[in-house]
Amino acid sequence: MPLPTALRRVLWMSSTFLIVSTYMGIFVNLYIWQKHASIAEVCWYNIVMFAAWGVGFTLGASSVTRYATRLPMRLSAFSGMAAFMLLLTLHIPNDYLWIAMVAVPAGLFGGFYYAGQNLTITRLGQGEEFSAFYFYQNLVNQVIGLVNPIVSALLIHWFGYTSSFVLMFLLVCVMFGISFTVPKITYQTAVKTEGSFYHHIRWREVFPTPSLRVMHAGLFVGGVFFQFQAALALFLTFSVTGNKVFIGVLSMGYTLACVVGLRIYQRVHVDKKLWMNIGVAMTVVGFLLAIFPNYTTRIVSNFFTTVGMFYFGSVWNGQQYAMFSALTPMHSARLFTWRENTFNVARIAVYGALFPLHQLTGIPFYTILAVMIVSSVFVPYLQTKSLSLALAARQRQIQAGLTEHIHQT
């Protein structure tokens, strides 16, 4: 079905953001890596970035109780401009200070944006429109995932990093312009009925039911699982080659594998729990392959973990968003904030564990791998437990309603 104008504008904003964020995720990390081939420096960048991401998301989510969701999107654009201006102009001898100064606006760029987008979509999307938006967004994501890495790599190869930084700066300016067309969505009405954003932000108030509390535990374990796969794929790719074009081709190949995986997922109709387990199994196989320092094996490892995490994440995230849709607007805003910050703590924990490593071999690395494999068992278990508790609670509510109706009649 065609998208309404409001959602189409959000899709344009999302597409522009994704081009820039995909570039950042690969080539800003590579830019840092190529100086000293240091795992610690890349980890430091991501630790600071995700800390700033959490701050940006929290401030962005709280701002929509007073202003439209356009505001965090514009703050995201300003942060992106600052990040690329620093990459273009900042030169200081202290590498860790330089990395931190770039990482802060890069993190705010992502945090502000997702606060604005998530809280816009939850108010705009209804029924088939909601499904249609995610269908088109997924389609755009696939195209960008295939084209962006190789185009960016060729641009850097032919003209250097500076030209790519300038291009990304201009794209962020386009983001800022598009933000004026995004629908004005506010949560001011929700404040009148549910209180201010921070009024009921405590853990017990945001996660009042057993199902939500179990889900929160699963969010942390799942965040660790997801981020370790992303970090491992990044480091394995960088350890295989420093050639930017080859890295772009590999990234395109990983995305193409996910596209093929999506087609299989759509055609083979089996229980979603089975798809989740298939995803976990493929990811674990990929983790085990990472033990072998052979270049070919490491590339195969990345294909397994990327496709496996795609299957797992598709089911895992979909089930959680279905639970969130039943909540009130302000409760969902607070829950999204807790969710994002829980993810960020998990992400920082992963990079903190990898920070002391000098190479992806040895007892410390194998110990981390073992912990990740154990976590792969707990993530689907906690998700299934949360869903079963939610289902049981709904059944009790229905039974109580029927009993009350019988007594009244």
Q: Say if 196 falls within a structural domain.
A: no
- Determine contact, residues 211/390, Cβ cutoff 8 Å: yes
Whether the per-residue pLDDT at 118 is higher than 70: the answer is yes
Tell how far CA 214 is from the center of its chain: 21
Evaluate whether 113 touches 58 at the Cβ level (below 8 Å): no
249 & 374 share domain: yes
Tell me, yes or no, whether 194 lies in a domain.
no
Amino acid at 114: Y
Cβ count within 10 A of residue 69: 28
Q: Do 140 and 268 have their domain in common?
A: no
CA-to-CA dists, residue 281 to 136, 236, 308, 373, angstroms: 29, 19, 7, 10
Q: Which amino acid is at 404?
A: E
Cα torsion at 216, 10, 52, 316 (round to 10°)?
Answer: 30
The pLDDT of 108-117, averaged and rounded, is 92
pLDDT of 250-265, one tens digit each? Answer: 888 888 888 888 788 7
Task: With respect to residue 403, please indicate whether it lies within any of the assigned structural domains.
Answer: no
| d(C-alpha 208, C-alpha 392), whole Å | 15
User: Taking all residues of the chain, what is their mean pLDDT, rounded to a whole number?
Assistant: 85
In a domain, 49, yes or no: yes
CA distance 137 to 146: 14
Residues in contact with 249: Cβ distance below 8 Å, sequence separation at least 6, in sequence order: 149, 150, 153
Q: How many residues does the chain have?
A: 409
Query: Where is pLDDT greater, at 53 or 360?
Result: 53
Residues 210 and 182 in one domain: no
Judge if 147 and 222 occupy the same domain. no
177 & 217 share domain: no
pLDDT band at 325; cut points 50, 70, 90 = low
**Same domain (yes/no): 167, 278:** no
What is residue 253's predicted lDDT score, i.e. its pLDDT?
Answer: 87
User: Domain containing 77 — which CATH number?
Assistant: 1.20.1250.20
Residue 402 has a pLDDT of 59
Domain for residue 195, yes or no? no
> For position 166, what pLDDT does the model report?
95
Higher pLDDT, 238 or 330: 238
Look at residue 116 and tell me if it is in a domain: yes
Alpha helices in 160-243 (DSSP H): 161-179, 188-194, 203-206, 210-240
Q: Residue 291: which domain range? A: 204-393
pLDDT, tens digit (0-9, with 9 covering 90-100), for 348-401: 999 999 999 988 888 999 999 999 998 888 888 888 888 788 777 777 766 666
Measured CA to CA, the distance from residue 118 to residue 13 in angstroms comes to: 12
Can you spell out the DSSP letters for 68-136?
A: -THHHHHHHHHHHHHHHHHHHH---S-HHHHHHHHHHHHHHHHHHHHHHHHHHHHHH--THHHHHHHHH
In this prediction, residue 408 has a pLDDT band, given cuts at 50, 70 and 90, of low
